[in-house]
Amino acid sequence: MGVLGVNQEACALAKAHKPEHFCLERIVRPNILALKPYRCARDDYQSGTLLDANENSLGPSAATRSSEEMESLQLHRYPDPGLYGVRESVTQFRGLPHTAYTFLGVGSDEVIDLIQRCFARPSQDKILICPPTYGMYSVSASINDVQVVEVPLTMPDDPRGAFRLDVPKVQAALAQDPSIKLVFLCSPGNPTGTLLAMEDVCAILETPAYQGLVVVDEAYIDFALEEQAQGRKHTASQAVSAVSLVHEYANLIVSQTLSKSFGLAGVRMGVAFAQPPIIQVMNNTKAPYNVSTLAAHAASQALAPEGIQRMRSHAKTLVELRERLIRELASIPCIGKVLGTNDANFVLVQVLDAPKGLPDSQRAALVYKRMAEEHRLVVRNRSSELGCDGCLRITVGTAEENDQCIKLMKELLTP
């Protein structure tokens, strides 16, 4: 049985369908593969006199800035599947050949959850993660009754470098356990800020014994792409985003979001890119009208040429502010290394104990608590995560916010 509704013309636009041993139908849950998706009213007709979906024909009761805005958004109607051209815009922006390669969801978290629901059988299958990493992979696994296998990233004292994929160990785990159906990789990592090497991602995609999918979560990718554009890091010929691999690998999903570089965290717009059969499985399974009209409208503005230009300008500024923040942190007593390769809009920095100069998780927790409760400046305590002893994760703020953070940390950490 093939995937219901898949666009064969779009499939033919892929450069390749590697690896040869991969077969999607073998890992889609049988009930999902056989699923006849709910057909919503707007799948057939999007305009005219609409008396088909039990909407409130008198209009919305919510107040907005103007009646013209309310009329243009048509909030009393269910969202048009065209979603203000968002799917077309983001597909073009990321350089993929057809909208059948693009899924839109309610933030990356819906994407993560939906992937697990589609491709991992409850109580039978497993996912593999590489800690320290984003916590929602494990949370979604618990909700979906899927076990988690952990293969840690390389640690800060590893001669190969900190927070890189330990490819031989990942491949060994995949070869050893055929019940692993999904591998979640975070690039740049959260909380590590480290961009994963695409050759390492390819090595995992091509693991001969592995029949499952590889998911590369790229929530922060535009900051790394901006560094490449500026010539700060990553050569022009170097592949930075795994989206460049979607054309070739049939076992790859790349997850992104408009929350970070585009500054639309409150909108909740997540994106996934993959070859059409995977995207079709996800579209067959998702809830109808999962993306709201308001979210789609905001996303369409962000993905317009002027919105993309603004995003890139903001990413450039945040990269510059991040480098200044790193320099200022180095001047604070009892601040240790800034870990990772710093390819995102945050830094992961060690808090040290005064006598020995070693990472001090207890002191980091105290500084975190005092900053938040006494001074209303909130960072993130990551000291309990693997390889992150004594670490605080600091989001890059405005110049003024960064100055406030540095001043406060100096006060709290100066003996």
**221-278 residue pLDDT tens:** 999 999 999 988 888 888 999 999 999 999 999 999 999 999 999 999 999 999 999 9
- Which pLDDT does position 39 carry in this prediction? 72
In a domain, 203, yes or no: yes
Mean pLDDT to the nearest integer, 299-312: 94
| CATH number, domain containing residue 47 | 3.90.1150.10
- Which pLDDT does position 336 carry in this prediction? 94
Assessment of whether the complete model's pTM goes beyond 0.95: no
- Which pLDDT does position 349 carry in this prediction? 97
The number of distinct structural domains making up the chain is 2
DSSP track, 220-246: THHHHHHHHHHTSSS-TTS--STHHHH
One domain, residues 391 and 265: no
One domain, residues 136 and 247: yes
Mean pLDDT to the nearest integer, 153-170: 94
- Which pLDDT does position 252 carry in this prediction? 98
One domain, residues 325 and 206: no
- Which pLDDT does position 354 carry in this prediction? 82
- Point out the domain boundary residue: 307, 331, 353: 307
Least confident of 130-134, 159-163, 215-219: 159-163
In a domain, 15, yes or no: no
CA–CA dist 379, 399 (Å, integer): 16
One domain, residues 49 and 158: no
In a domain, 4, yes or no: no
In a domain, 132, yes or no: yes
CA–CA dist 141, 181 (Å, integer): 12
One domain, residues 265 and 118: yes
Extract the tokens encoding 409. 């940390």
**Burial class of residue 12, CB neighbours in 10 A (0-12, 13-18, 19+):** exposed
In a domain, 2, yes or no: no
Greatest alpha-carbon span in the chain: 75
Nearest to 351 by CA among 324, 370, 332, 376: 332
- Point out the domain boundary residue: 280, 307, 334: 307
**Share of residues in the chain with pLDDT > 70 (%):** 92
One domain, residues 207 and 329: no
- Which pLDDT does position 56 carry in this prediction? 57
Mean pLDDT across the chain:
92
Which segments of 120-158 does DSSP mark as H helices, in order? 136-143
In a domain, 33, yes or no: no
One domain, residues 107 and 256: yes
User: What confidence category does residue 81 fall into, taking pLDDT thresholds of 50, 70 and 90?
Assistant: confident
**Share of residues in the chain with pLDDT > 90 (%):** 80
- Which pLDDT does position 374 carry in this prediction? 93
- Which pLDDT does position 64 carry in this prediction? 54
Q: Tell me: pLDDT of 46 over 60.
A: yes
One domain, residues 259 and 368: no
Q: Tell me: pLDDT of 154 over 60.
A: yes
In a domain, 17, yes or no: no
One domain, residues 165 and 88: yes
Nearest to 210 by CA among 257, 252, 166: 252
Give bridge partners of residue 255 from the DSSP assignment. 217, 272
Range of the domain at 379: 41-58+308-413
| CATH number, domain containing residue 216 | 3.40.640.10
Cβ(74)–Cβ(245) below 8 Å = no
One domain, residues 364 and 282: no
CA–CA dist 393, 358 (Å, integer): 17
One domain, residues 269 and 312: no
Q: Tell me: pLDDT of 101 over 80.
A: yes
Where would I find the beta strands (DSSP E) of 166-258? 180-186, 213-217, 252-257
**176-195 residue pLDDT tens:** 999 999 999 999 999 999 99
Cβ(144)–Cβ(116) below 8 Å = yes
- Which pLDDT does position 35 carry in this prediction? 84
User: What confidence category does residue 75 fall into, taking pLDDT thresholds of 50, 70 and 90?
Assistant: confident
**366-392 residue pLDDT tens:** 999 999 999 999 999 999 999 999 999
Which segments of 53-122 does DSSP mark as H helices, in order? 67-73, 86-93, 107-119
One domain, residues 349 and 238: no
- Point out the domain boundary residue: 283, 307, 331: 307
